[in-house]
């Protein structure tokens, strides 16, 4: 996972209402390449949530030298209407029914376990470790750390591998303000919010802009980007 969940309860826990905010989401990835080198990437997104629990994440692609910034993919989750919208720069919108709308999708390519062997599964995660509280971006946040073991042979690894996920939830914001995921087979991903504003975002941020063609997904589930 490489994006901050805008709901401390995690996936499937429903939307958060009455707590609007906007922020910039910074994701830094250190990916292990097949040749053993480390590929460093930074992803930036503008995220917001309105008072009714609608959420929006707009990915901001890095501009090439001497070139203007290009529009990125925008994801809008509307639990009031019961739809998730995926807005593409080509003026099309993929619309799908989404159970448990209110949390945002993961940034593409930020995690996952490639090459899982048939008939094998991860060991049950250990009980989350409480990390206490600390101030992050002016918000008192409570941290937890979860550890999961990948058995030998699961993804081509000769020895068992531990994957660690850490998150810091700001109760006052109703969102995770910082998270990290470490997978020795893939790399490390750290995501944090900055420039948090607890104000009401403009309502048009959660609407489909004029001129977009709406395409209904054949599946009643959140589309993968």
- Specify whether the CB–CB gap between 46 and 61 falls below 8 A: no
pLDDT in tens, the chain (225 residues): 445 566 776 555 568 899 999 999 999 999 888 788 888 999 999 999 999 999 999 998 876 667 666 678 999 999 999 999 999 988 999 999 876 544 444 333 333 333 333 344 555 666 789 999 999 999 999 999 999 887 877 666 677 888 899 999 999 999 999 999 998 878 899 999 999 999 999 999 999 999 999 999 865 444 444
Structure tokens at 67: 């070139």
Q: Which of 148, 146, 147 is nearest to 122 (CA)?
A: 148
Inter-residue long-range contacts of 164-167, CB under 8 Å, 24+ positions, other chains counted: 165/1, 166/131, 167/5, 167/143
- Specify whether the CB–CB gap between 54 and 201 falls below 8 A: no
**Domains of the chain: residue spans and CATH:** 21-109+119-216 (2.50.20.10)
């Amino acid at each position: 996972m490489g994006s901050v969940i805008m709901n401390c309860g995690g996936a499937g826990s429903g939307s958060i209402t009455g707590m609007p905010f906007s922020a910039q989401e910074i994701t830094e990835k250190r990916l292990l390449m097949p040749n053993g080198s480390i590929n460093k990437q930074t992803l930036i997104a503008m995220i917001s949530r309105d008072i009714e629990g609608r959420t929006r994440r707009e990915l901001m692609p890095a501009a090439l030298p001497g070139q203007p910034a290009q529009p990125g993919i925008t994801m809008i989750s509307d639990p009031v209407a019961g739809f998730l919208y995926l807005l593409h720069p080509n003026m099309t919108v993929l619309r799908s029914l989404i159970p448990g709308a209110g949390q945002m999708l993961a940034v593409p390519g930020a995690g996952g376990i490639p090459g899982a062997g048939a008939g094998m599964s991860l060991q049950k995660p250990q009980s989350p470790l409480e990390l206490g509280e600390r101030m992050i971006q002016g918000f008192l946040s409570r941290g937890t750390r979860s550890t999961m073991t990948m058995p030998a042979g699961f993804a081509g690894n000769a020895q068992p591998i531990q994957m660690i996920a850490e998150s810091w939830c700001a109760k006052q914001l109703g969102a995770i303000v910082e998270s990290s995921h470490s997978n020795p087979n893939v790399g490390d991903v750290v995501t944090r919010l900055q420039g948090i504003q607890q104000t009401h975002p403009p309502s048009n941020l959660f609407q489909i802009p004029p001129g977009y063609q709406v395409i209904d997904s054949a599946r009643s589930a959140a589309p993968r980007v």
